[in-house]
Chains A and B, each alone.
Chain A
């Protein structure tokens, strides 16, 4: 109930100028800045241009995947298959290019495969009336990962064409190419979610699916669309990752679904649906990236990094709930 009572911020940003509204919008950003400040104080290597660009490059894959995950979570769903779809697309794009298919067509094929697998998730959910998106996407998570291993024989497919590697490892001027790609995707998703009727429908579906259906929102079509989008961004993530690693490897993106869910949730989206923004999700992905990078610089072991990230996820949601309760008391009184 507390989640359903939250205002969806996307269409009302202009009105949310109260202190509580500002905190709601910029809370995750504030968290990111404090984190950066703290890491800058702890390590003199953190706040350098090179390192910050590096953080952005490292965060790009998760940021892309999280955008699709965001649309799913806005509708009140969850997509557990994005990490595996990323892995399968990573292998597919590399295999296609090794088979002599031009990079551009290989990329297009990988994006199509990702979208199609995502759409299958949505169709399974809406047509078979599976009880929760957890089920079809859990199935897809296993199927896609299995196929990635089968097709690649379990081995990485390395040495990819230079033109392809640009989107993972190249730069335009001093800006890493994947960062530009993320910016383009963020812009497109922002316009989609806040300026189009379809995007607005997604918040309605997540806020109250039954009311949306009874108001003429084609709920099933919208759900299929968000899972397809989630598959699409997972494939985009695969292209960046394969380019950066110069390899299509079948275990790419293991755990990626959880990283993307964490970014979306840290970014202020509600697991109950109806709430979530592109800017919040981007900040969420950056917080994850900054944490990993900063803890690396401080020589914290990978094992302890995982512990810290787990704590941050729970703490971020808890802070959000506390703030939200305070806001509700404010508007009730």
Chain B
């Protein structure tokens, strides 16, 4: 066996989905005993590349070599057989089963036709020991902390004698302390000759843990260098492109008035004035959706499902008055509107008609439905927002993404909302409809509404918002005005760089 040969080499990998190029002749390699970081903005092609490496999707062209031998992966099983493991962001564990059963899921050691629990427990303990951690193999996974569960997932990869482990944003759900422990385990694995591909948005970690770093942008390979030879700024520039684009800057924003429509004070401080559009930037998991849903009184359900008990210590003022927003009912009563990140599951009743969806948030102060009044109002908004529907009774499920989003906006306009919380308002919407949505947002603000808009697309925020507030790990990392906003500056704040 040639020890100097790369564990894995991907040469000129290209891949298209439905005519859209997501990877263009990308080259990537991993040596044994190294941590190779893979960075890039959302949509840069990281996940696709990793899905190809782990056999989930085949490449359109290009070749892959494992220790100089060409390989062809027909599916995840082939990759597993070669010792390639993928530790996913959403951990794939069975909570009811024990640690050991999860580690050996599907490959229990068997003797005489029965599962050999003694051997399974002993080997699990040994593997966890190699990762520098002690967890009782008999404990059910449901009892473990997130960090421990992640370790079980890694232990599974080690128990399968994986030589190549891919980790996708492993520290996203972890505290700093747990992240440190994870890094210790990663270093132990590296010392044993395992190669790790480490995907993260947190550049700080990449400098801490990785040996080399590769940047992808728009499906192309931008750079691969030893981490010690690049700076934070160089990485950011490589991720977003050298020339800073000041497109989309023509908008009619700037109608902000001095009156405060929304103020949050406490662990997060933020103000939105009437007529103002405030952008909310941050990487995936920075807490933008959490903040908006908490503002809207919808945080309770989230806390219940995650078992988190830390109530945010902050108060909210709407139009200068303290508001108790404990449920969405309170929020609607205070004139707030939430356009959620996922309109299909959170914004619309898909099976119901256009009319029913537009009427969903309003008119609840009355006992009887005023049908003709509602039909008239709905027709008005359909005209004003240029919503392309066959009729009020058409079910919204068959409408296009852009049209559905307009129905969600019409719902809140009908309810008379004055403070709009928009979460990824153009996600999954085609370009033409996006421009229409931007116009609507500007029109809203022009009419004196306050808009707080979260988006992962920096260009969009820079084009629409008067100010951009940047979040990092649940906190506000800084704020940039429209005039001084550059992608570089926002990314710097969003990746934890100091202001």
User: Are B369 and A216 in contact (CB-based, < 8 A)?
Assistant: no
User: Are B351 and A274 in contact (CB-based, < 8 A)?
Assistant: yes
Q: Annotate A196-215 by CB proximity to B: 1 below 8 A, 0 otherwise.
A: 11101101100110111111
The reply on B345 being an interface residue by CB < 8 A is yes
Do A203 and B367 contact each other (CB < 8 Å), given the known contacts A15-B393, A214-B340, A332-B398?
no
For residue A279, give the distance in angstroms from its CB to the closest CB of chain B. Answer: 18
Do A12 and B328 contact each other (CB < 8 Å), given the known contacts A197-B368, A204-B360, A212-B360?
no
The reply on A218 being an interface residue by CB < 8 A is yes
* Residue from the list A3, A129, A274 in contact with B349, Cβ < 8 A: A274
Q: Which residues of chain A (1-35) have a CB below 8 Å from chain B?
A: 3-8, 11-12, 15-16
Q: Annotate B308-349 by CB proximity to A: 1 below 8 A, 0 otherwise.
A: 000000000000000000011101110000101000011111
Q: Which residues of chain B come closer than 8 Å to A12, judged between CB atoms?
A: 353, 355, 393
Q: Which residues of chain B (224-265) have a CB below 8 Å from chain A?
A: none
Q: Which residues of chain A come closer than 8 Å to B411, judged between CB atoms?
A: 215
The reply on A331 being an interface residue by CB < 8 A is yes
Q: Which residues of chain B come closer than 8 Å to A218, judged between CB atoms?
A: 327, 329
Q: Which residues of chain B (40-88) have a CB below 8 Å from chain A?
A: none
For residue B154, give the distance in angstroms from its CB to the closest CB of chain A. Answer: 31
Q: Which residues of chain A come closer than 8 Å to B353, judged between CB atoms?
A: 7-8, 11-12
The reply on A195 being an interface residue by CB < 8 A is yes
For residue B150, give the distance in angstroms from its CB to the closest CB of chain A. Answer: 26
* Residue from the list A200, A201, A211 in contact with B345, Cβ < 8 A: A211
User: Are A208 and B345 in contact (CB-based, < 8 A)?
Assistant: yes
Select from chain B the residue with minimum beta-carbon distance to A3.
B351
Do A200 and B350 contact each other (CB < 8 Å), given the known contacts A211-B345, A215-B361, A216-B329?
no
The reply on B363 being an interface residue by CB < 8 A is yes
The reply on B391 being an interface residue by CB < 8 A is yes
* Residue from the list A198, A211, A275 in contact with B347, Cβ < 8 A: A211
The reply on A217 being an interface residue by CB < 8 A is yes
Select from chain A the residue with minimum beta-carbon distance to B363.
A197
* Residue from the list A197, A216, A275 in contact with B367, Cβ < 8 A: A197
User: Are B368 and A196 in contact (CB-based, < 8 A)?
Assistant: yes
User: Are A207 and B351 in contact (CB-based, < 8 A)?
Assistant: yes
Q: Which residues of chain B come closer than 8 Å to A196, judged between CB atoms?
A: 367-369
For residue A326, give the distance in angstroms from its CB to the closest CB of chain B. Answer: 16
Select from chain B the residue with minimum beta-carbon distance to A13.
B393
In the complex the two chains form, what is the Cα distance from A211 to B361 in whole Å?
A: 10
Q: Which residues of chain A come closer than 8 Å to B401, judged between CB atoms?
A: none
User: Are B329 and A214 in contact (CB-based, < 8 A)?
Assistant: no
Most chain B C-beta atoms within 10 Å of own C-beta, residue among A5, A8, A12, A218: A12
Q: Which residues of chain B (382-412) have a CB below 8 Å from chain A?
A: 391-393, 395, 397-398, 411
The reply on B359 being an interface residue by CB < 8 A is yes
In the complex the two chains form, what is the Cα distance from A197 to B304 in whole Å?
A: 29
Do A7 and B332 contact each other (CB < 8 Å), given the known contacts A196-B367, A214-B347, A215-B411?
no
* Residue from the list A7, A198, A215, A274 in contact with B360, Cβ < 8 A: A215
Most chain A C-beta atoms within 10 Å of own C-beta, residue among B368, B392, B415: B368
User: Are B331 and A216 in contact (CB-based, < 8 A)?
Assistant: yes
User: Are A207 and B332 in contact (CB-based, < 8 A)?
Assistant: no
- How many A residues are at the interface, by size bracket? 20 to 34
Q: Which residues of chain B come closer than 8 Å to A211, judged between CB atoms?
A: 345-349, 360
In the complex the two chains form, what is the Cα distance from A104 to B397 in whole Å?
A: 50
Q: Which residues of chain A come closer than 8 Å to B348, judged between CB atoms?
A: 208, 211
Select from chain B the residue with minimum beta-carbon distance to A272.
B351
User: Are A204 and B356 in contact (CB-based, < 8 A)?
Assistant: yes
User: Are B368 and A200 in contact (CB-based, < 8 A)?
Assistant: no
Do A195 and B352 contact each other (CB < 8 Å), given the known contacts A211-B346, A216-B332?
no
Most chain B C-beta atoms within 10 Å of own C-beta, residue among A197, A210, A211: A211
For residue B366, give the distance in angstroms from its CB to the closest CB of chain A. Answer: 6
Q: Which residues of chain B (435-451) have a CB below 8 Å from chain A?
A: none
Select from chain B the residue with minimum beta-carbon distance to A220.
B327
* Residue from the list A197, A203, A214, A275 in contact with B364, Cβ < 8 A: A197
* Residue from the list A5, A11, A15, A129 in contact with B397, Cβ < 8 A: A5
User: Are B367 and A198 in contact (CB-based, < 8 A)?
Assistant: yes
Do A214 and B350 contact each other (CB < 8 Å), given the known contacts A8-B356, A129-B304, A197-B367?
no
Most chain B C-beta atoms within 10 Å of own C-beta, residue among A3, A15, A216, A275: A216
The reply on B296 being an interface residue by CB < 8 A is yes
Q: Which residues of chain B come closer than 8 Å to A331, judged between CB atoms?
A: 398
Select from chain B the residue with minimum beta-carbon distance to A129.
B304
Q: Which residues of chain B come closer than 8 Å to A212, judged between CB atoms?
A: 349, 360
User: Are B349 and A204 in contact (CB-based, < 8 A)?
Assistant: yes
In the complex the two chains form, what is the Cα distance from A213 to B340 in whole Å?
A: 12
Q: Which residues of chain B come closer than 8 Å to A207, judged between CB atoms?
A: 349-352
In the complex the two chains form, what is the Cα distance from A207 to B63 in whole Å?
A: 48
Q: Which residues of chain A come closer than 8 Å to B338, judged between CB atoms?
A: 214
Q: Which residues of chain B come closer than 8 Å to A275, judged between CB atoms?
A: 351
In the complex the two chains form, what is the Cα distance from A197 to B364 in whole Å?
A: 6
Select from chain B the residue with minimum beta-carbon distance to A221.
B329
In the complex the two chains form, what is the Cα distance from A4 to B346 in whole Å?
A: 13
The reply on B465 being an interface residue by CB < 8 A is no
Do A203 and B356 contact each other (CB < 8 Å), given the known contacts A214-B338, A216-B364?
yes
Q: Which residues of chain A come closer than 8 Å to B391, judged between CB atoms?
A: 15
Q: Which residues of chain A come closer than 8 Å to B369, judged between CB atoms?
A: 11, 195-197, 200
In the complex the two chains form, what is the Cα distance from A275 to B360 in whole Å?
A: 16
Q: Which residues of chain A come closer than 8 Å to B331, judged between CB atoms?
A: 216
The reply on B298 being an interface residue by CB < 8 A is yes
Q: Which residues of chain A (310-333) have a CB below 8 Å from chain B?
A: 331-332
* Residue from the list B298, B351, B398 in contact with A4, Cβ < 8 A: B351
Q: Which residues of chain A come closer than 8 Å to B304, judged between CB atoms?
A: 129
For residue A195, give the distance in angstroms from its CB to the closest CB of chain B. Answer: 6
Do A200 and B349 contact each other (CB < 8 Å), given the known contacts A5-B395, A213-B298?
no
For residue A88, give the distance in angstroms from its CB to the closest CB of chain B. Answer: 31
Q: Which residues of chain B come closer than 8 Å to A201, judged between CB atoms?
A: 364
In the complex the two chains form, what is the Cα distance from A204 to B349 in whole Å?
A: 6
Q: Which 10 A-B pairs have the closest CB atoms?
A: A216-B332, A207-B349, A15-B393, A215-B361, A12-B393, A215-B360, A208-B349, A7-B395, A5-B397, A6-B351
A-B contact pairs, 13 of them (CB 8 A): A7-B352, A8-B352, A15-B391, A129-B304, A195-B368, A195-B369, A196-B368, A197-B363, A197-B364, A207-B351, A208-B348, A213-B298, A213-B328
Please name 9 further chain A to chain B contacts, defined as beta carbons within 8 Å, in addition to the given A215-B360, A217-B329, sorted by A numbering. A7-B352, A8-B352, A11-B355, A12-B353, A196-B367, A203-B349, A204-B352, A207-B352, A216-B332
